Structure 1
Amino acid sequence: MSLLTPPNRTRGDSTIGLINIVFLMLIFFLIAGTIAPSLGGGIALMRLSDPQTQTPPDALVLRADGQMELDGMALGDDASTGAEAYLASLTDRSVARLLPDRDAPAAVMVQVANALRQGGAERVVVLGEK
Protein backbone atom coordinates (compact mmCIF):
# COMPACT_ATOMS: atom_id res chain seq x y z
CA MET A 1 0.00 0.00 0.00
CA SER A 2 1.29 3.33 -0.92
CA LEU A 3 0.87 6.32 1.34
CA LEU A 4 1.39 8.99 -1.19
CA THR A 5 0.00 12.35 -0.38
CA PRO A 6 -2.21 13.82 -3.02
CA PRO A 7 -0.64 16.69 -4.94
CA ASN A 8 -1.35 20.11 -3.50
CA ARG A 9 -3.75 22.11 -5.55
CA THR A 10 -3.12 25.78 -5.63
CA ARG A 11 -6.20 27.86 -5.37
CA GLY A 12 -6.71 30.63 -7.88
CA ASP A 13 -6.34 34.17 -6.71
CA SER A 14 -9.52 35.61 -5.28
CA THR A 15 -8.56 39.07 -6.52
CA ILE A 16 -10.04 38.34 -9.95
CA GLY A 17 -13.53 38.19 -8.45
CA LEU A 18 -12.88 41.41 -6.52
CA ILE A 19 -11.72 43.18 -9.67
CA ASN A 20 -14.87 42.05 -11.47
CA ILE A 21 -17.09 43.38 -8.70
CA VAL A 22 -15.31 46.73 -8.63
CA PHE A 23 -15.53 46.98 -12.41
CA LEU A 24 -19.27 46.23 -12.37
CA MET A 25 -19.80 48.84 -9.65
CA LEU A 26 -17.90 51.39 -11.72
CA ILE A 27 -20.07 50.69 -14.76
CA PHE A 28 -23.23 50.91 -12.62
CA PHE A 29 -22.32 54.31 -11.17
CA LEU A 30 -21.31 55.67 -14.58
CA ILE A 31 -24.67 54.66 -16.04
CA ALA A 32 -26.64 55.81 -12.99
CA GLY A 33 -24.89 59.19 -13.10
CA THR A 34 -25.81 59.79 -16.73
CA ILE A 35 -29.41 58.66 -16.30
CA ALA A 36 -30.11 60.66 -13.13
CA PRO A 37 -31.71 64.04 -13.76
CA SER A 38 -29.56 67.06 -13.06
CA LEU A 39 -30.43 69.18 -10.07
CA GLY A 40 -30.49 72.35 -12.12
CA GLY A 41 -28.22 75.32 -11.97
CA GLY A 42 -29.74 76.88 -8.89
CA ILE A 43 -28.91 80.51 -8.35
CA ALA A 44 -25.93 81.89 -10.19
CA LEU A 45 -24.96 84.99 -8.27
CA MET A 46 -23.63 87.87 -10.32
CA ARG A 47 -20.63 90.10 -9.96
CA LEU A 48 -21.90 93.54 -9.09
CA SER A 49 -18.62 95.14 -10.16
CA ASP A 50 -19.39 94.16 -13.76
CA PRO A 51 -20.22 97.37 -15.67
CA GLN A 52 -23.09 95.64 -17.52
CA THR A 53 -24.89 94.73 -14.30
CA GLN A 54 -27.98 96.80 -13.60
CA THR A 55 -29.47 96.53 -10.16
CA PRO A 56 -33.26 96.54 -9.84
CA PRO A 57 -34.59 99.63 -8.05
CA ASP A 58 -36.54 97.64 -5.45
CA ALA A 59 -33.73 95.32 -4.36
CA LEU A 60 -31.37 95.53 -1.41
CA VAL A 61 -27.86 95.17 -2.82
CA LEU A 62 -25.21 93.36 -0.79
CA ARG A 63 -21.71 94.18 -2.02
CA ALA A 64 -18.66 91.91 -1.82
CA ASP A 65 -17.30 93.82 1.19
CA GLY A 66 -20.55 93.38 3.15
CA GLN A 67 -21.83 96.92 2.51
CA MET A 68 -25.51 97.31 1.63
CA GLU A 69 -26.97 99.71 -0.92
CA LEU A 70 -30.44 100.82 -1.91
CA ASP A 71 -30.91 102.76 -5.16
CA GLY A 72 -27.22 103.65 -5.17
CA MET A 73 -27.22 104.99 -1.59
CA ALA A 74 -25.02 103.27 0.96
CA LEU A 75 -26.82 101.84 4.00
CA GLY A 76 -23.73 100.65 5.87
CA ASP A 77 -22.81 97.14 6.92
CA ASP A 78 -25.13 96.61 9.91
CA ALA A 79 -27.69 93.97 8.90
CA SER A 80 -30.56 95.18 11.09
CA THR A 81 -30.13 98.88 10.22
CA GLY A 82 -29.89 98.14 6.50
CA ALA A 83 -32.91 95.84 6.64
CA GLU A 84 -35.00 98.47 8.47
CA ALA A 85 -34.08 101.17 5.96
CA TYR A 86 -34.85 98.87 3.05
CA LEU A 87 -38.20 97.73 4.45
CA ALA A 88 -39.17 101.35 5.17
CA SER A 89 -38.70 102.17 1.48
CA LEU A 90 -41.06 99.41 0.31
CA THR A 91 -44.77 99.89 -0.22
CA ASP A 92 -45.43 96.15 -0.01
CA ARG A 93 -43.35 94.64 2.78
CA SER A 94 -44.43 91.07 2.10
CA VAL A 95 -41.62 90.31 -0.37
CA ALA A 96 -38.06 91.53 0.14
CA ARG A 97 -35.58 91.24 -2.72
CA LEU A 98 -31.91 90.70 -1.91
CA LEU A 99 -29.25 91.00 -4.60
CA PRO A 100 -25.93 89.70 -3.22
CA ASP A 101 -22.61 89.93 -4.97
CA ARG A 102 -20.99 86.61 -5.88
CA ASP A 103 -18.14 87.35 -3.47
CA ALA A 104 -20.33 88.58 -0.60
CA PRO A 105 -19.81 86.72 2.68
CA ALA A 106 -22.47 84.05 3.14
CA ALA A 107 -22.73 84.74 6.86
CA VAL A 108 -23.59 88.39 6.18
CA MET A 109 -26.16 87.35 3.59
CA VAL A 110 -27.86 85.06 6.12
CA GLN A 111 -27.81 87.84 8.74
CA VAL A 112 -29.43 90.28 6.31
CA ALA A 113 -32.06 87.72 5.28
CA ASN A 114 -32.87 87.01 8.94
CA ALA A 115 -33.08 90.74 9.69
CA LEU A 116 -35.48 91.18 6.77
CA ARG A 117 -37.68 88.35 8.07
CA GLN A 118 -37.64 89.78 11.59
CA GLY A 119 -38.47 93.20 10.17
CA GLY A 120 -41.73 91.94 8.71
CA ALA A 121 -40.93 90.48 5.29
CA GLU A 122 -42.93 87.32 4.67
CA ARG A 123 -40.56 86.13 1.95
CA VAL A 124 -36.96 86.97 1.10
CA VAL A 125 -36.14 86.43 -2.55
CA VAL A 126 -32.47 86.12 -3.52
CA LEU A 127 -31.91 87.51 -7.00
CA GLY A 128 -29.39 86.07 -9.42
CA GLU A 129 -28.66 85.90 -13.11
CA LYS A 130 -30.03 83.52 -15.70
Structure 2
Amino acid sequence: MRALRSKREPTIALINIVFLMLVFFMVAGTLSPPLDRDLSLVNTRDLDARPPPDALVIHSDGQMSFRGVGMPDAATYMSTLEQDAQTEVRIVPDQTLPAAQLVAIGQDLRRAGARKVIIVTERGLQ
Protein backbone atom coordinates (compact mmCIF):
# COMPACT_ATOMS: atom_id res chain seq x y z
CA MET A 1 0.00 0.00 0.00
CA ARG A 2 1.22 3.40 -0.86
CA ALA A 3 1.63 6.03 1.85
CA LEU A 4 -0.03 9.35 1.21
CA ARG A 5 2.31 12.26 1.32
CA SER A 6 0.90 15.51 2.55
CA LYS A 7 1.59 18.59 0.51
CA ARG A 8 3.88 21.06 2.22
CA GLU A 9 2.83 24.68 2.42
CA PRO A 10 5.23 27.19 0.88
CA THR A 11 5.88 28.99 4.20
CA ILE A 12 9.39 30.05 3.25
CA ALA A 13 8.02 31.97 0.25
CA LEU A 14 5.39 33.63 2.44
CA ILE A 15 8.01 34.65 5.01
CA ASN A 16 10.17 36.11 2.24
CA ILE A 17 7.27 38.18 0.92
CA VAL A 18 6.41 39.52 4.37
CA PHE A 19 10.07 40.37 4.99
CA LEU A 20 10.35 42.19 1.66
CA MET A 21 7.18 44.18 2.45
CA LEU A 22 8.63 45.12 5.83
CA VAL A 23 11.86 46.33 4.23
CA PHE A 24 9.90 48.26 1.59
CA PHE A 25 7.83 50.15 4.18
CA MET A 26 10.91 50.88 6.27
CA VAL A 27 12.67 52.39 3.26
CA ALA A 28 9.60 54.17 1.85
CA GLY A 29 8.60 55.79 5.16
CA THR A 30 10.30 59.03 6.06
CA LEU A 31 10.50 60.94 9.32
CA SER A 32 10.46 64.71 9.43
CA PRO A 33 13.29 66.36 11.36
CA PRO A 34 12.40 68.17 14.60
CA LEU A 35 12.25 71.95 14.66
CA ASP A 36 15.26 72.11 16.99
CA ARG A 37 17.42 69.28 18.32
CA ASP A 38 16.81 70.07 21.99
CA LEU A 39 13.04 70.60 21.59
CA SER A 40 10.55 67.99 22.82
CA LEU A 41 6.93 68.72 21.91
CA VAL A 42 3.96 68.68 24.27
CA ASN A 43 1.62 65.66 23.90
CA THR A 44 -2.08 66.25 23.19
CA ARG A 45 -5.00 64.45 21.60
CA ASP A 46 -7.38 65.58 18.84
CA LEU A 47 -5.09 68.29 17.53
CA ASP A 48 -6.16 70.24 14.46
CA ALA A 49 -4.31 68.57 11.59
CA ARG A 50 -3.05 71.76 9.93
CA PRO A 51 0.74 71.85 9.63
CA PRO A 52 2.39 74.69 11.55
CA PRO A 53 3.59 77.47 9.26
CA ASP A 54 6.19 79.86 10.58
CA ALA A 55 5.95 79.51 14.33
CA LEU A 56 7.69 81.02 17.35
CA VAL A 57 9.76 78.32 19.07
CA ILE A 58 9.99 78.59 22.86
CA HIS A 59 12.77 76.54 24.45
CA SER A 60 12.71 74.98 27.93
CA ASP A 61 14.64 77.91 29.41
CA GLY A 62 12.17 80.47 27.98
CA GLN A 63 14.44 81.57 25.11
CA MET A 64 12.46 82.28 21.94
CA SER A 65 13.51 81.86 18.32
CA PHE A 66 11.84 82.44 14.95
CA ARG A 67 13.30 80.82 11.83
CA GLY A 68 16.48 80.11 13.79
CA VAL A 69 16.94 83.71 14.94
CA GLY A 70 16.72 84.50 18.64
CA MET A 71 13.87 86.78 19.74
CA PRO A 72 14.33 88.77 22.95
CA ASP A 73 10.60 89.18 23.62
CA ALA A 74 7.09 88.75 22.20
CA ALA A 75 6.85 92.35 20.98
CA THR A 76 9.99 91.93 18.86
CA TYR A 77 8.56 88.76 17.34
CA MET A 78 5.27 90.48 16.54
CA SER A 79 7.13 93.36 14.87
CA THR A 80 8.77 90.89 12.44
CA LEU A 81 5.38 89.61 11.22
CA GLU A 82 3.30 91.17 8.48
CA GLN A 83 -0.06 92.64 9.52
CA ASP A 84 -2.02 89.66 8.11
CA ALA A 85 0.13 87.13 9.99
CA GLN A 86 -0.49 88.86 13.33
CA THR A 87 -4.10 87.71 13.49
CA GLU A 88 -3.21 84.07 14.16
CA VAL A 89 0.14 83.43 15.88
CA ARG A 90 1.49 79.90 16.35
CA ILE A 91 3.95 78.99 19.08
CA VAL A 92 5.85 75.71 19.54
CA PRO A 93 6.78 75.32 23.23
CA ASP A 94 9.26 72.83 24.63
CA GLN A 95 7.61 70.11 26.70
CA THR A 96 9.57 71.10 29.80
CA LEU A 97 8.69 74.79 29.62
CA PRO A 98 6.77 75.72 32.81
CA ALA A 99 3.07 76.33 32.15
CA ALA A 100 3.11 79.68 33.95
CA GLN A 101 5.85 80.91 31.64
CA LEU A 102 3.93 79.65 28.57
CA VAL A 103 0.80 81.52 29.70
CA ALA A 104 2.83 84.68 30.33
CA ILE A 105 4.33 84.53 26.83
CA GLY A 106 0.84 84.01 25.38
CA GLN A 107 -0.39 87.07 27.24
CA ASP A 108 2.59 89.09 26.00
CA LEU A 109 1.76 88.06 22.43
CA ARG A 110 -1.87 89.15 22.91
CA ARG A 111 -0.74 92.50 24.32
CA ALA A 112 1.59 92.93 21.34
CA GLY A 113 -1.32 92.54 18.91
CA ALA A 114 -1.99 88.83 18.35
CA ARG A 115 -5.72 88.13 18.16
CA LYS A 116 -5.39 84.36 18.43
CA VAL A 117 -2.46 82.36 19.90
CA ILE A 118 -2.27 78.70 18.86
CA ILE A 119 -0.01 76.26 20.70
CA VAL A 120 1.41 73.60 18.39
CA THR A 121 1.95 70.24 20.11
CA GLU A 122 2.71 66.63 19.33
CA ARG A 123 -0.34 64.45 18.76
CA GLY A 124 -0.91 61.91 21.55
CA LEU A 125 -0.88 58.26 20.50
CA GLN A 126 -3.82 55.93 21.26
Place the TM-score, normalised by the shorter chain, in its bin: 0.5 to 0.7
1:58 aligns with 2:54: yes
Amino acid at match of 2:89: A
Please provide the CA RMSD for this pair: 1.9
**How many percent identity over aligned positions?**
37
The residue identity in structure 1 corresponding to 2:105 is V
Larger radius of gyration: 1
Aligned to 1:87: 78
Q: TM-score under structure 2 normalisation?
A: 0.54
1:70 is aligned, of 66, 70, 77, to 66
What are the residue-to-residue correspondences of 1:1-130 with 2, within 5 Å? 52-54=33-35, 58-76=54-72, 82-91=73-82, 92=84, 93-130=86-123
TM-score by length of 1: 0.52
Corresponding residue for 1:6? none
Question: May I ask how many residue pairs the two structures share in their alignment?
Answer: 75
The answer to whether the Cα contact below 8 Å between 1:60 and 1:69 also exists between their aligned partners in 2 is yes
What do residues 102-123 of structure 1 show as CA deviations (whole Å, max 9, x unaligned)? 0111111111100011111110
Runs of 5+ consecutive residues of structure 2 not aligned to the other structure: 1-31, 37-51
CA contact (8 A) 1:57 1:71 kept: no
**Runs of at least 4 residues off by over 6 Å:** none
Q: Is the 8 A contact 1:58 1:90 kept in 2?
A: no
Q: Please, which runs of 5 or more residues in structure 1 have no aligned partner? A: 1-50, 77-81
